[in-house]
Structure 1
Amino acid sequence: MTSALDEELSRALKEASPPSELLERLLALEVGALTERRIERRIRESKLPERKLLADFDFAFQEGVDKRQIVELATLDFARRKQGVIIAGNSGTGKSHIAKAILLIGCQKTFRCRYVTATTMLRELLATLADNSLEQKLKRFLTPEILLIDEVGFDRLEQHDPRNANLFHKVIDGRYCKGSTIITTNIDFKELGDYLGDPVITAATVDRMIHHSIIITIEGPSWRLHESQQLNARK
């Protein structure tokens, strides 16, 4: 900001700019700096583990992805409509890459965003049952305008605690029609009951998850496997 200010002052002296024009340019610089700081704050608060970009996604390799649909998601109209997004597919197909890139765009557009894996979210909520702080912790996942719950199905949670189904339902139900929830998963909706440990509660959860949601299913090869094979071929 200091160097930019010096440049504008030097420019004003060289061009003999009127004070009003100089003031306008300085105000524009200040607004730009404030916006950048706000965006960085949004990104930090989102807890995104990495900054994925749609520009880095290989649509040519993953032909099962409709590029036009992903570009449409990047407009964030779904968030303005408070719609959900479910991205399903096998491991390595790019679900998380796309979801993280969309969440990053949300931060850049100054939406309140939050990233969390399903395992971490449920572990944190489960821990609150011991000290009756569940309602307070729930707010962390209910208040963001866009919440990304990544890796649903990655860990077999039903082996840990049967209360996970109810906790997961509280998040989905609490955000229903109030905020946008992006979910990535490698399991079928029919398997969610076994995954969360309670098919009855999960049925109600799935009903809210898919209602008014954009569902994207990626059927294609694993990029990680492809990349590994390429590296081995070069050796």
Structure 2
Amino acid sequence: MKRDKQEGPRSGAFLLASVLHFYSGQPLQNLSGVDSSDRSEPRGRYYVERRENIIAVGNSGTGKSHIALGLGLAACQKGLSVGFITASALVHELLEARDEKRLLRLQRQLAGYKLLIIDELGYVPLSVTGVELLFEVFSQRYERGSTLVTSNLPFDEWTSVFGSERLTGALLDRLTHHVHILEMNGDSFRLADSRRRSRRARSEPPADAAPQE
């Protein structure tokens, strides 16, 4: 798990829209594939200060982790404590901490972050015990700190991760009570970049090609 804290020139929360502008080089409302209900709502920007959550949902390669990293960096620059970890790695740490009888200490650490980023929820199947421990993390952070989750699964498929409609419903109830949802529905940036490189390679002559007379 990564933990970063850096004293910034001011205390308080950072602006969601300004970080997304930094990420893409253009305002949030012009970001292809991003849909957010808070595009023009200034009150929604200071989400860390208000202990609000962010959920970025979309296909692989649409920039969810990139945006999460940008938001985490901006929080560090404001002097806020930030944790960043994938969902599968977090579950692994929780299970290990339970076996080593240091689970309460880890749970207190996770609950103490001003912003906890849990990346790639839904990419890797989780055990029943792992799901229960992960649920406890979300529950303990409820209205105590901001949690940012990225997932490739729409909400109606989260039951496949948590295994129980009851548990999934309780989790979503906590996460979405104060939430900004980013729907990343654009094309894969990685796939588009690969296509551009392939087209460029086809259009450029080989380095050892003989010059034409």
Q: Could you tell me the TM-score, scaled by structure 1's length?
A: 0.70
For structure 2, list consecutive stretches of 5 or more residues without a partner in the other structure: 9-18, 202-213
Contact 2:53 2:180 in 1 (8 A): yes
Contact 2:138–2:175 (CA<8 Å) still a contact in 1? yes
1:63-82 equivalences under 5 Å are 63-65=32-34, 69=38, 77-82=46-51
Partners of 2:87 and 2:105 in 1: CA distance: 18
| Distance apart, 1:218 and its partner CA | 1.5
The answer on whether the counterparts of 1:54 and 1:101 sit within 8 Å (CA) in structure 2 is no
- Is residue 2:148 matched to residue 1:188? no
Change (3 A) 1:162 1:129: same
Alignment length (residue pairs): 184
2:168 is equivalent to residue 202 of structure 1: yes
SS at match of 2:117: strand
Q: Which has the higher helix share?
A: 1
- Greater mean alpha carbon deviation, residues 130-139 or residues 142-151: 130-139
Map of 2:196 onto structure 1: 230
Query: What is the CA–CA distance in structure 1 between the aligned matches of 2:6 and 2:37, rounded to whole Å?
Result: 31
Correspondence for 1:170 = 136
Task: Please tell me the residue identity of whatever aligns with 1:171.
Answer: V
1:212 maps to what in 2?
A: 178
1:110 aligns with 2:79: yes
SS in 2 for 1:78: coil
Name the one with the larger strand percent. Answer: 2
| One of 87, 94, 106 as aligned partner of 1:125 | 94
Change (3 A) 1:76 1:184: same
The structural deviation recorded for 1:76 is: 5.4
Compare CA radii of gyration and give the structure with the larger one.
1
1:143 aligns with 2:109: no
The DSSP-based 3-state class of the residue aligned with 1:194 is helix
RMSD: 2.7
Question: By how many angstroms is 1:104 displaced?
Answer: 0.5
Higher relative contact order (CA 8 A, sep 6+): 2
Secondary structure of the residue that 2:47 maps to in structure 1?
helix
Give the TM-score, by structure 2 length: 0.77
> Structure 2: which amino acid aligns with 1:124?
E
Gaps in structure 1 of 5+ consecutive residues:
1-35, 40-51
Distance in structure 2 (CA, Å) of the matches to 1:165 and 1:78:
26
- CA shift, 1:166, in A, is 1.0
How high is the sequence identity, in percent, across the aligned residues?
32
CA drift of 1:156 comes to 1.9
